[in-house]
Amino acid sequence: MLKQRKQAFTIVELVVATGLVALVGITAMRMFSSVGIAQQNLSQQALLQMESRRAFDNLVDQIRMGTDIVRPTTGETLPYMVFKDVINQMTILYLEPNNTNANLIKKRVYRLVSYRGDYSGKYQEDNEKILLDSVSELHFTSLSPTSVQVNATVINEKGEYQFLAHIGLMNLGGIE
């Protein structure tokens, strides 16, 4: 006659099974955690791109209102731009240090400022407007007397976003 064995788990089998379940659980938790972090980083990058795009569109609109590029001259690349508009006012686009954001990001950061003025020589604070708040690099390259290429890198604590645009100024068709 055969002896009947009890159908029970030994302590070793229980420890091994518990260890395997714990290992699978930890792996699943790490995977979900990394997916959550990646999704959060992508959301931050998309937000930076949207905010940057909106600000860059303001810059493009302002440049398109110009009629003649004063600086940079054709073929020249500069970190600033000077142009005239229809009513013969000068607009200067330039960078100024943004120390508040530089301390937060731990990198050199600038504001892109637009100043529109007449030829009176007086500074008028109301004519100054900040177009982009956190710029790490900006270059204007004049391609012709009425077109410019703009290369800008916008930055925040989560990353950078770079723009490259070819912008044509207003074409007056020889109206004097």
Q: Please indicate, yes or no, if residue 91 is contained in any of the structural domains.
A: yes
Give me the number of domains the chain comprises: 1
Model confidence pTM above 0.75? no
Q: What is the pLDDT of residues 130-170, one digit of tens each?
A: 888 888 899 999 998 889 999 988 887 777 888 888 998 88
The phi and psi torsions of 172 (rounded to 5 degrees) equal: -90, -5
- Look at residues 162, 160, 138 and name the one whose alpha carbon lies nearest to residue 81: 138
- For the record, the structure tokens of 118 come out as 């007449």
Domain region containing 151: 51-168
- Let me know if residue 64 belongs to a domain: yes
In a domain, 68, yes or no: yes
In angstroms, the CA 117 to CA 21 distance is: 72
Q: Does 124 fall in a domain?
A: yes
